[in-house]
A and B are shown apart, each in its own frame.
Chain A
Amino acid sequence: MAGTALRGRLTWQIAMVDTVTDETARVRTIVLDVPQWPGHRAGQHLDVRLTAEDGYRAERSYSIASAPGEPVAITVERLDDGEVSPYLTQELRAGDELELRGPIGGYFVWEPEDDGPLMLVAGGSGIVPLRAMLRHRQRSGSAIPARLLYSSRTLPDVIYQSELSRYADGVEVTCTLTRQQPPGWTGRAGRVDAKLLSEVCWPAAVSPLAYVCGPTSFVEAAAAGLVGLGYPPHRVKTERFGATGGR
């Protein structure tokens, strides 16, 4: 578990919103112009700080949605009882300023040099850091074969829908819809369980490297399922977000 040391001090800096794009009714991608950005790796996150007129401040962490070398982007899901996410998904406009610092984290990252086929398992907005990995794979010209298993409630909840449908060339995308499937749906139905994992994921024999991101219960089930398929625990990297209004 040796890591790449990241020892520099993380200072707050002011970024400017370049574009905002709605991904779904509740999810928005915000592309930022960050003059002092030191660069990031696929899978890392950053901290955002908002200041209200009365001086009240709130900070939250968000996964970086863009590949290394692309402009910094975050994709934010609105939580109705949240404080920061409604602002980011409804109020924020191009030209607005925002404080941030990062990148943060060095374990849940993927590099083309990492060995083994790539197995990505996402639940809901857990797709965000995995999307950065897929884009990084594409942009770096990596030939590492990749599979993505992505669970959403309904088709309109699928984030990056058109982008994910365009992947070819060594990337296999499987979507499952847990709550409702539209007529003619050719993807999977139901939650990610042992059976679905065994049908969709790389067999353990090819030594895959897995990244699982989503809500806690999703990650618990998916990570345990991969271990059940024979994935060594150290080859299953997880990132979870709790069921709180925090993010």
Chain B
Amino acid sequence: MSPVSRGFRRRRLPDAEPGRVPPGQYVTGDFPVLSAGPTPRTALQNWTFSITGGGEPRSWTWEQFRALPAESVTADIHCVTRWSKLDTRWEGVSIDTLLDQVEHHAGFALAHSDGGYTTNLPLQDVTGGRAWVAFGYDGEPLEPEHGGPARLLVPHLYFWKSAKWVRSLELLDADEPGFWETYGYHMYGDPWLEQRYAGD
């Protein structure tokens, strides 16, 4: 039984229609930034995106990547620090499009980013039109502090799974914790189940 905090009351108007925002989240109009280190800046001529751990490793230069069919995505995003942002507009290449070019039988993926960040995802969560490598935000190139030139976009999971500055997906047979998952954050991170920390 939670103690009632004398004098504490809701100050915010309900943020959105009921059911739109996961439990424990509030809606923000800003786009807050959270990351564990300095913002990496990789020149586009040095940028590649790779998929490893499958049959033959596959790699795309920026030009090759941008020549792939891209999709426009409008999605609500939910950060484990409790902000949600509604109707964010992205442009990106579906992970399905990338994985189509790789032979594999993997069940999980570990995303690797510039700066050493990693995060783990079940493969079924990055396929079936649910995940992208996004390079555009709100009609503009994705800014470095928000993960540009390209970040993972997996809007149905807490946003730390949408790794900024993503450079590769490592295909794995077994689930392995990434960066925040090693520090006690949830292995899966479903915002609707409030899977913030290990054991939630």
Contact = CB atoms under 8 A, between A and B. Distances in A.
B116 A49 contact: no
Contact of B38 (A1, A3, A49, A227): A227
Contacts of B183: 3-4, 6, 105-107
Interface stretch (B27-35, B45-53, B70-78, B102-110): B27-35
A98 B184 CA distance: 23
Contacts of B34: 240, 242
Contacts of A51: 2-5, 8
Contacts, number: 148
Contacts of A144: none
Range of interface residues on A (Cβ < 8 Å) = 35 or more
Contacts of B115: 233-234
A233 B3 contact: no
Contact of A104 (B30, B83, B118, B184): B184
Interface in B36-83: 36-40, 81-83
Contact of B179 (A1, A50, A233): A1
A176 B64 CA distance: 47
B38 A236 contact: yes
Contacts of A244: 28, 30, 32, 83
Contact of A99 (B3, B39, B180, B198): B3
A174 to B, nearest CB: 21
A66 B143 CA distance: 36
Contacts of B24: 57, 59
B20 interface: no
Interface of A: 1-10, 12, 14, 49-54, 56-61, 82-83, 86-87, 91-92, 96-99, 104-108, 216, 220, 223-224, 226-227, 233-234, 236-246
